[in-house]
Amino acid sequence: MATYEYQGLSGQGETVRGKIQAKSLHAARQLLQAQGYRIKQLKESRVKTKKKLKKGSPKLQDMVLLTRQLAAITKAGLPLIEGLTIVTDQIENLRLKKALDGVMEDVKSGEAFATALGKHPRVFDRFLVSMVRAGEASGMLDDVLSQVAEYLEKMNNLQKKVRSALTYPGFVLCFAFALIIFMGIQVIPQFVEMFEEMDAQLPLITRITIGFSNILRSYGIFLLIALIIGGFFLRKFLKTRRGKTMFDQLTLRIPKIGDLLKKVALAKFSRTLSTLLRSGVNIISAMEIVEETTGNVLYEQAVRNARISIQQGETIANPLNDREYFPIMIVKMIDIGERTGSLESMLAKVSEFYEEEVDIAVENITSLIEPMLIIFLGGAVGFIIVSIFLPMIRMIEQIS
């Protein structure tokens, strides 16, 4: 198996370059063309480099790359074992690579691909295993893997959008608190001695600032220790069922942020259910998988109740209609899809709608939070500056 360096254009016209392993130059070109790449340059790599594998759980982007390459390889007609060998050699995550090594051994011994994947639940979730099982049963594994890759790309984009909406405010707030603490410990004490020499009645705002500085200097280390311990126990609590429920209830009530999280949950619900049904997974199993992938305890409970109602003979729309977390629009779309036999296509349209809504919500939150953060940071620093200079201005007025 040789390594080849390639450069070309993707289906969207973007420049792509990288390395791929194949038996021959012709086989490498076929694999790249199967992925939709238009190759400009392809040559054998002469440099032998040993990759340093990343530790920790595989990221969603790793799973996107894995499923996209497997889909291209199976569509090109290569045997599954050979495809797994090619993909495994390019994996950069240690845990994922070890899991794939185990999968290859099981497949070589005669086990089904889905069964082999199911032996590694910490790496390959139930959604992927169910999709692969449906693909193997229908003889359309390459198409199903393409659907999985498309689905994971959509989920990855959703995560990035939510992260971008929340990361910037978090960074600015951390910077603001760090600046305030620095001024309280290093800057304000330098003026305290001057104020003591003035021996004058200080304004209330100055006394508040000095008191804040004294607390930080005297008890700062204890506050930091308490904060670390509190954060540790809070993280432990949020991993419990009760903690997750309380956290999800709280976040969904936050203005703008809660609206964004609801739209993300609805987009994941409709996209996941649509993808599973389109691949041939039965509705009960699909609802069980959706229940595990909502990412929100409250939506998980709503989907669980809907699944139980479906098992008892209800339609999907009726139990969801009793939940405040599912807007009337999505319930009506599901109802129409059930009655017309086009449920998966209706769910796909719903997911597209909510993915667009997530884009709009992220833009709105960003445009709203930025001025609020600037006001907060400017107000906090301005408060400290005014409290320091106000006594000095009064002293100058008295002297003049």
Same domain as 108, residue 29:
no
Same domain as 341, residue 383:
yes
**What is the average pLDDT value for the chain, to the nearest integer?**
82
Same domain as 115, residue 46:
no
Q: Which of the two residues, 170 and 113, has the higher pLDDT score?
A: 113
Least-confidence region, from 43-52, 251-260, 317-326: 43-52
229: confidence class by pLDDT, cuts 50, 70, 90: very high
Highest mean pLDDT: which range of 1-15, 270-284, 383-397: 270-284
Same domain as 59, residue 36:
no
Same domain as 161, residue 208:
yes
Please give the residue range of the domain that contains residue 7: 1-50
Highest mean pLDDT: which range of 27-41, 158-172, 325-339, 364-378: 325-339
Point out the domain boundary residue: 76, 92, 124.
124
- Is residue 112 one of the residues assigned to a domain? yes
Can you tell me the mean pLDDT for 118-144?
A: 84
- Is residue 46 one of the residues assigned to a domain? yes
pLDDT of residue 200: 67
Write the CATH number for 185: 1.20.81.30
Which regions of 142-230 does DSSP assign to beta strands (E)? none
Kind and range of the H or E element at 200?
A: none
Over residues 189-215, the pLDDT tens digits come to 888 777 777 666 788 888 888 888 888
**361-389 burial: b if 16+ Cβ within 10 Å, else e:** bbeebeeebeeebeeebeeeeeebeebbe
260: confidence class by pLDDT, cuts 50, 70, 90: confident
Same domain as 335, residue 322:
yes
Tokens at 394, concatenated: 């009064």
Same domain as 288, residue 324:
yes
Highest mean pLDDT: which range of 66-70, 134-138, 391-395: 66-70
Highest mean pLDDT: which range of 211-225, 307-321, 381-395: 211-225
- Is residue 184 one of the residues assigned to a domain? yes
Same domain as 267, residue 202:
yes
Over residues 74-85, the pLDDT tens digits come to 887 778 888 888
Same domain as 282, residue 226:
yes
Q: Which of the two residues, 395 and 110, has the higher pLDDT score?
A: 110
- Is residue 130 one of the residues assigned to a domain? no
- Is residue 135 one of the residues assigned to a domain? no
Query: CB pairs under 8 A, 24+ apart, for 347-354?
Result: 347/270, 347/271, 347/273, 347/274, 347/277, 348/270, 348/271, 348/274, 348/278, 350/266, 350/270, 350/274, 351/154, 351/267, 351/270, 351/271, 351/274, 354/263, 354/264, 354/266, 354/267, 354/270
- Is residue 389 one of the residues assigned to a domain? yes
Phi and psi at residue 141, in whole multiples of 5°?
Answer: -60, -40
User: Is the pLDDT at 49 greater than 60, yes or no?
Assistant: no
The tally of domains found in the chain comes to 3
**Is 277 within 8 Å of 344 (Cβ atoms)?**
yes
User: Is the pLDDT at 400 greater than 70, yes or no?
Assistant: no
- Is residue 131 one of the residues assigned to a domain? no
- Is residue 133 one of the residues assigned to a domain? no
Question: Does pTM surpass 0.75?
Answer: no
Same domain as 58, residue 11:
no
Same domain as 165, residue 25:
no
Same domain as 58, residue 43:
no
